[in-house]
Amino acid sequence: MIYDGVLTVGFRSRSPVVPDARTAALRRPSWWGELLLGLAVFGVYLLVEALPLPDREARAQAGGEALLAFERMLHLDFELPVNQWLAGQGWLRVAANYEYAITYIVSALVLLIWVHARYPAHYRSVRTSFVWLNLFALACFWLFPVAPPRMLPGAGFVDTVRLGHTFLSWGSPALQGANQLAAMPSLHVGWALWVSVVLARISGGRVVQIVSAVHVLVTFAVIIATGNHYWIDAAGAAVLIAAATGLARVARPVDRVSASDTFFLHVETPAYPQHVGGLIMLNTSADPAGPAGDWVRAAIRDKLADLPRYTQRLSEYSPWRRQYWVPHPDLDWDWHVPEFDLTRPDGSPGGMGELHKLVARFQGELLPRDRPLWRFVVVRGVETNTAAVISLVHHAVADGIGTISLMLDLFDSPSLLDGLNDTKRPTVLQKVAAGAVGLAQLATDGRPKSQLPAGNPPDRRYATLQIPLDDVRELARRHRVRVTDLLLGGVAGALRRVAVAPLPESMLTSVTLMAAEPRPGAEGNVTAAVMVDIPLGDMPEAERLRRIAKATRRLRTGTRVVASRFVQHTVAGLLPAFVHAWFARTVYNARFFNGTVSNMPGASWQVSFRHFPLRTAFAIIPLAPGTPFTIGVLGWYGSFSLSATVDAALVDSVDEFLAGFRAVLAELD
């Protein structure tokens, strides 16, 4: 479904999404990523086979004989009589061969799938221990090859697997090339015992654990009876399991920055910081002194348990992997919550112009990455009975609507995402179909015909405008267009009126939409963008609006948003960090679009910060590299609250730009 500025990728649900289930779903890795990881481990196995150390066969024979001699010294060399007994048992020998070839693989795969589906919060640790177990074993196979008992010349062992031509083993022609010099450790016992260990940790089902323990014992008997392992190989597997599970348990879970959030870390430069936020206007008539910094800090402290990113910073940058969040509890409160007083020396308020300059200043300053990426600036002396708060977080923490929702959390207000999260997600087939269509559409959207003038670095100008929301909706209804169409028309017409440099005939504008996917709290980016070619030529504003509505009509299906989210979140998540950085910096700049327009829902109810009611809130949206403007709208409590950030190279006076916007609406009225 598409609202003005919000696209819900799915269908409305009659029952809300349970937050715990939503959080768990986000923790569950994608199946294709896990498949790639499995292929990578298999690639290590192939590498071990392709690059054996010198004299592997001779060293393997010596290793097998040494193990057998050690067992004889302990008088525990019982493998030979058990093997010779099984060799004459007919159907039991065949059953043992297939148990050896198949069940350990099936049990491990079934467990991984089961944990992935039923216990996603445990899955990463379980999978990590399994990967470490196999990597440890492969290292042993490469460094210390050991021939199994059946391959020791003159020892008298019978190769029951080869004797029975057992399918799915070296007993069948398809797997003749399998590494047979890998007795130590026994991965058959290792995988079966690992399954039992995981079940003991996760599931309290006694019957399941008993069945798994029986499987371990049967597998141990089979590896001995088939002549494939020494009993000490099973002991070696147990040691590796202890090491692998211990390593997975000791290693702290990494709270990795998602690919869609990392995108904005990659594109950020000193000239183009990528933090988003809100400018909140407070009514201070009940207390003209305005909000005190101390109690603002106290209010945020009380909420820190619900705002984990406010006490975390980024890890050190690496070109090989995505960064992750690490604890940073020692907050510099004077930096995170600074105070400004715009009151003039004569005691009169500083005015909205001074507040806008302050916002533009903060827009141009990077948030240092050695601390949590947020600020909450308290500003007094704006106008009579009016104070303000500039709430900023990095785009890697939240998107625009997430930032406003985080702000509302601080104000003890319902979240903007409560209704949007009650969304039934589309099926995989629906996503694939929509994504395939959307990718084809994105590929044909093209690039801007020319670039708009922009400074390097940009000279930012910020200003705000309030119009009654009902008036804007009524105007859009009369012209049979969406509010977003009206917004785009107003932006284009205003630029046509006040731009300081000649404009091209059209501009490709990035219109951000939020894919309302379930997410914990308000963190992360679930935004996508569609490109709209907006006419800038000299024409009646009604004609410009008609062309814009026609251009946006084809974008309403949501297929482009699904495709954009697939690329940003899924495909990018599979890329190495340095490749993802190159991709992000390549596509997110003026070569691909001329500017950004965003229309977001705001609170439709009265909000207060302690005893200070909110008059309204305005969005603070960063400039994309090389682009000279970004326009944001919040539909806030009956107000069409518009904010504009423009580069002086395009528009010398942002107030004149907003006056031009009003003139466009007046012409359309």
pLDDT of residue 431: 56
Given pLDDT bands bounded at 50, 70 and 90, which one contains residue 448? confident
Report the largest interatomic distance among the alpha carbons of the chain, rounded to a whole angstrom. 107
Q: How many whole angstroms separate alpha carbon 452 and alpha carbon 646?
A: 11
Query: Across all residues in the chain, what is the average pLDDT?
Result: 82
Whether 121 is covered by a domain: the verdict is yes
On whether the CB atoms of residues 625 and 588 are closer than 8 A, the answer is yes
Instruction: Determine the distance from the C-alpha atom of residue 431 to the mean position of all C-alpha atoms in its chain, rounded to a whole number.
Output: 17
| DSSP-derived secondary structure letter, 318 | B
pLDDT of residue 13: 31
Q: Is the dihedral of CA 473, 479, 480, 485 positive or negative?
A: negative
Confidence check: pLDDT of 300 > 80: yes
Whether 500 is covered by a domain: the verdict is yes
The residue-averaged pLDDT of 642-668 equals 95
Structural element, H or E, at residue 634:
strand 629-636
Whether 32 is covered by a domain: the verdict is no
pLDDT of residue 193: 93
Go through 477-502 and write b for each residue having 16 or more CB atoms within 10 A of its CB, e for each that does not. eebebbbbbbbbbbbbbbbbebbeee
Q: How many whole angstroms separate alpha carbon 354 and alpha carbon 425?
A: 45
The residue-averaged pLDDT of 570-583 equals 79
Q: Is the dihedral of CA 237, 239, 241, 243 positive or negative?
A: negative
Structure tokens at 323: 């960064």
Q: Are residues 471 and 488 both part of a single domain? A: yes
Q: Are residues 261 and 249 both part of a single domain? A: no
Q: Are residues 226 and 310 both part of a single domain? A: no
Given pLDDT bands bounded at 50, 70 and 90, which one contains residue 167? low
The parent domain of residue 199 ranges over: 52-253
Torsion, CA 468, CA 643, CA 653, CA 662, rounded to 10: -20
Confidence check: pLDDT of 170 > 80: no
Q: How many whole angstroms separate alpha carbon 403 and alpha carbon 394?
A: 9
Confidence check: pLDDT of 468 > 90: yes
Q: How many whole angstroms separate alpha carbon 253 and alpha carbon 145?
A: 34
Give the number of residues written for the chain: 669
Cis peptide before 149 (omega within 30 of 0): no
pLDDT of residue 222: 92
Beta bridge partners of 633: 599, 642
Residue that wins the pLDDT comparison between 514 and 10: 514
- Burial of 65 from C-beta contacts in 10 A (0-12 / 13-18 / 19+): middle
Given pLDDT bands bounded at 50, 70 and 90, which one contains residue 413? low
On whether the CB atoms of residues 560 and 2 are closer than 8 A, the answer is no
Number of domains within the chain: 2
Cis peptide before 426 (omega within 30 of 0): no
Q: Which of 202, 220, 253 is the last residue of a domain?
A: 253
565 phi and psi angles, rounded to 5 deg: -65, -35
Given pLDDT bands bounded at 50, 70 and 90, which one contains residue 482? very high
pLDDT of residue 21: 37
Q: Are residues 157 and 285 both part of a single domain? A: no
pLDDT of residue 622: 95
Q: Are residues 97 and 232 both part of a single domain? A: yes
| DSSP-derived secondary structure letter, 337 | S
Q: Are residues 230 and 292 both part of a single domain? A: no
End-to-end CA, the chain: 29
Q: Are residues 349 and 449 both part of a single domain? A: yes
Q: Which of 199, 227, 253 is the last residue of a domain?
A: 253
Given pLDDT bands bounded at 50, 70 and 90, which one contains residue 426? low
Confidence check: pLDDT of 422 > 50: no
- Residue 349 CA: distances (Å) to CA of 360, 387, 614: 19, 10, 18
Residue that wins the pLDDT comparison between 94 and 662: 662
Within a 10 A sphere around the Cβ of 644, how many other Cβ atoms? 26
On whether the CB atoms of residues 131 and 37 are closer than 8 A, the answer is yes
Q: For the residues of 432-457, what is the DSSP string, one character each?
A: HHHHHHHHHHHHTS---SSPPP--SS
pLDDT of residue 205: 67
Q: Are residues 9 and 71 both part of a single domain? A: no
SS3 assignment, position 277: strand
Q: Are residues 518 and 625 both part of a single domain? A: yes
Confidence check: pLDDT of 227 > 50: yes
Structural element, H or E, at residue 140:
helix 120-143
Tally helices (H) and strands (E) across the chain.
24, 19
Q: Are residues 376 and 514 both part of a single domain? A: yes
> What contacts 24+ positions apart, CB below 8 Å, involve 347-352?
349/381, 349/382, 349/383, 349/384, 349/386, 350/381, 350/382, 351/382, 351/383, 352/382, 352/383, 352/463, 352/464
Structural element, H or E, at residue 113:
helix 104-118
Beta bridge partners of 278: 391, 619
Q: How many whole angstroms separate alpha carbon 552 and alpha carbon 560?
A: 12
Q: Are residues 189 and 277 both part of a single domain? A: no
Go through 88-119 and write b for each residue having 16 or more CB atoms within 10 A of its CB, e for each that does not. eeeeebeebbbbbbebbeebbeebbebbbeeb
271 phi and psi angles, rounded to 5 deg: -80, -20
Q: Which of 199, 231, 253 is the last residue of a domain?
A: 253
Confidence check: pLDDT of 349 > 90: yes
Torsion, CA 655, CA 659, CA 664, CA 669, rounded to 10: 140
Q: Are residues 265 and 249 both part of a single domain? A: no
Whether 372 is covered by a domain: the verdict is yes
pTM, two decimal places: 0.66
The residue-averaged pLDDT of 475-504 equals 93
Whether 489 is covered by a domain: the verdict is yes
Given pLDDT bands bounded at 50, 70 and 90, which one contains residue 163? confident
Residue that wins the pLDDT comparison between 385 and 167: 385
pLDDT of residue 22: 36
The residue-averaged pLDDT of 353-381 equals 95
Q: For the residues of 380-449, what is the DSSP string, one character each?
A: EEEETTEEEEEEEEETTTB-HHHHHHHHHHHTT---THHHHT-EEPPPHHHHHHHHHHHHHHHHTS---S
Q: How many whole angstroms separate alpha carbon 313 and alpha carbon 374?
A: 10
Given pLDDT bands bounded at 50, 70 and 90, which one contains residue 20? very low
Given pLDDT bands bounded at 50, 70 and 90, which one contains residue 19? very low
The residue-averaged pLDDT of 33-39 equals 80
pLDDT of residue 251: 60
Whether 30 is covered by a domain: the verdict is no
Confidence check: pLDDT of 292 > 80: yes
The CATH number assigned to the domain holding 605 equals 3.30.559.30
Whether 550 is covered by a domain: the verdict is yes
Whether 602 is covered by a domain: the verdict is yes
Given pLDDT bands bounded at 50, 70 and 90, which one contains residue 377? very high
